[in-house]
């Protein structure tokens, strides 16, 4: 396993992380969740991603129970939570990035995850109805109180991240070190264009999500396939299926799968290796419903150095979505 710093912070994170969206406390049994955590940890993964909203808190409960059972030394891994959407409650006090929710959600996550502090605490989305100053102050205070070590954002705009940094700098507060955006071969602009000035500018680190576009990039979806076990066939994710199980994306995924076979990789390995090969990505977050999937995906690291300029050009020729670099 390779380890990178989380942006300009000193925190070493494994280039592959493991997350629990849709899976823990929902799609998979606790025993599978345990096998997945053990497989990840044994492979050197030290970054475990969670959020209050995942399975309305049950994902964190499952992870917390397992971390307790497994008894890994707390100094060997990082665990995260994210606040914004709430853990199921729909009242205005139960979600958002105001001080009340951020503090209460942090306490609730600590209880569910059974840890004394969160290594990284994310603002899961921007909150247009809360002054950014209040959010920055609250995150700073949670750090001062020892409840969180670092804080970050998820799917914020570059302008919002800069605003948080400016406010933090002017007031001698600790700003965000990491952003958590979607990043995969079908979705690139935010990471490759919008945030381009922030890596050196504010030292932004990235923990990126959905390297397989929820499974599309494994090439296993087709327009007529209805395997209920796969994520995008789940009823509650019809909105995500609508965006992703579309002819153009499936065609691209199929062509990438054929190219991966030429390289001797699986489609998942090619897609994950491509994400890891971007040095701006501190940690590519994996998801899995089966141990075999995770083992396959971990082997992506063997393919990173095979992504030569020629191979990358072939990939660009297939995906046809190379972002136009910003003009500085
Ligand atoms: P992926 O895009 O990699 O999708 C993972 C899913 O793809 C698995 O659960 C599995 O679903 C399928 N899959 C994985 N590997 C294989 C394989 N080798 N062969 C076939 N199918 C495979 O990642 P996620 O979307 O899960 O994102 C990773 C993590 O990022 C999340 O768990 C979460 O922690 C974080 N995240 C953060 C978000 C944010 O807003 N900040 C949003 C989304 C995710 P199945 O078996 O059901 O097909």
| pLDDT tens digits along 304-322 | 999 999 999 999 999 999 9
The predicted-structure confidence for 57-82, as pLDDT tens digits, reads as follows 999 999 999 999 999 999 999 999 99
For ligand 1, atom 48: residue with the closest CA = 230
Kindly tell me if the per-residue pLDDT of 158 is higher than 70: yes
**What is the CA(151)–ligand 1 centre distance, in A?**
23
Residue 173, pLDDT above cutoff 70 = yes
Full DSSP string of 113-163: HT-S-EEEEEE-S--TTS-HHHHHHHHHHHHHTTSEEEEEESS--HHHHHH
pLDDT, residue 77, reads: 98
Distance CA 166, CA 164 (A): 6
What is the value of pTM for the model shown? 0.97
The band of 227, judged by pLDDT with boundaries at 50, 70 and 90, is low
Ordered alpha helix ranges (H), the chain: 30-42, 58-70, 99-113, 132-144, 158-170, 189, 198-201, 238-244, 247-263, 267-276, 291-298, 309-319
Amino acid 325: pLDDT: 74
The residues carrying an active-site annotation are 54
Q: With cut-offs at 50, 70 and 90, classify the pLDDT of residue 38.
A: very high
282 lines ligand 1 (CB under 6 A): no
Helix axes 99-113, 58-70, angle to 10 degrees: 40
Measure 123 CA to ligand 1 centroid, in angstroms.
Answer: 20
The distance of Cα 222 from the centroid of its chain, to the nearest Å, equals 25
Q: What is the pLDDT of residues 285-303, one digit of tens each?
A: 999 999 999 999 999 999 9
> Residue 106: what pLDDT?
98
Average pLDDT, the chain: 96
Please tell me what DSSP assigns to residue 205: E
pLDDT digits (tens, 9 = 90+) for 90-99: 999 999 999 9
Does ligand 1 come within 6 angstroms of the Cβ of 214? Answer: yes
Q: In this structure, what are the phi and psi dihedrals at residue 136, rounded to the nearest 5 degrees?
A: -65, -45
Can you give the pLDDT at residue 225? 67
User: What's the DSSP call for residue 180?
Assistant: -
Over range 33-42, report the average pLDDT: 98
- 218 CB near ligand 1 (under 6 Å): yes
How confident is the model at residue 224, as a pLDDT? 77
* Ligand 1 centroid – CA 231 distance (Å): 9
Q: What is the rounded distance in angstroms from the CA atom of residue 209 to the CA atom of residue 272?
A: 11
What domains does the chain contain, in order, with CATH numbers?
3-217+274-304 (3.20.20.100)
Q: Which residue is closest in CA terms to ligand 1's atom 27?
A: 210
Work out the pLDDT band at 223, boundaries 50, 70, 90: confident
Confidence category of residue 259, pLDDT binned at 50, 70, 90: very high
Mean pLDDT in residue range 30-34? 98
């Amino acid at each position: 396993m390779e380890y990178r710093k989380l942006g300009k912070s000193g925190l070493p994170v494994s280039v592959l992380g493991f997350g629990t969206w849709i899976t823990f406390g929902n799609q998979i049994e606790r025993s599978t969740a345990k096998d997945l955590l053990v497989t990840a940890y044994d492979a050197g993964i030290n970054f475990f991603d969670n959020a209050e909203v995942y399975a309305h808190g049950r994902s964190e409960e499952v992870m917390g129970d397992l971390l307790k059972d497994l008894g890994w030394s707390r100094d060997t891994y990082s665990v995260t939570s994210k606040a914004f959407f709430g853990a199921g409650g729909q009242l205005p006090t139960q979600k958002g990035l105001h001080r009340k929710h951020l503090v209460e959600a942090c306490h609730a996550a600590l209880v569910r995850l059974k840890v004394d502090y969160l290594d990284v605490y994310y603002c899961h989305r921007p909150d247009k109805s809360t002054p950014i100053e209040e959010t920055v102050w609250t995150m700073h205070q949670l750090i001062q109180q020892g409840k969180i070590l670092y804080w970050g954002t998820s799917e914020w705009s570059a302008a919002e991240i800069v605003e948080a940094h400016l406010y933090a700098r002017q007031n001698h507060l600790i700003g965000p070190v990491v952003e958590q955006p979607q990043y995969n071969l079908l979705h690139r602009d935010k990471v490759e264009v919008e945030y381009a000035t922030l890596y050196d500018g504010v030292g932004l680190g990235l923990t990126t999500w959905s390297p397989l576009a929820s499974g599309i990039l494994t090439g296993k979806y087709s327009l007529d396939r209805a395997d209920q076990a796969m994520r995008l066939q789940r009823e509650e994710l019809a909105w995500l299926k609508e965006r992703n199980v579309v002819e153009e994306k499936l065609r691209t995924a199929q062509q990438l799968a054929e190219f991966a076979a030429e390289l001797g990789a699986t489609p998942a390995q090619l897609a994950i290796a491509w994400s890891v090969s971007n040095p701006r990505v501190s940690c590519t977050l994996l998801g899995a419903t089966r141990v075999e999937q995770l083992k396959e995906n971990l082997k992506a690291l063997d393919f990173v150095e095979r992504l030569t300029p020629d191979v990358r050009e072939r990939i660009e020729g297939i995906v046809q979505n190379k972002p136009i670099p910003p003009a500085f």
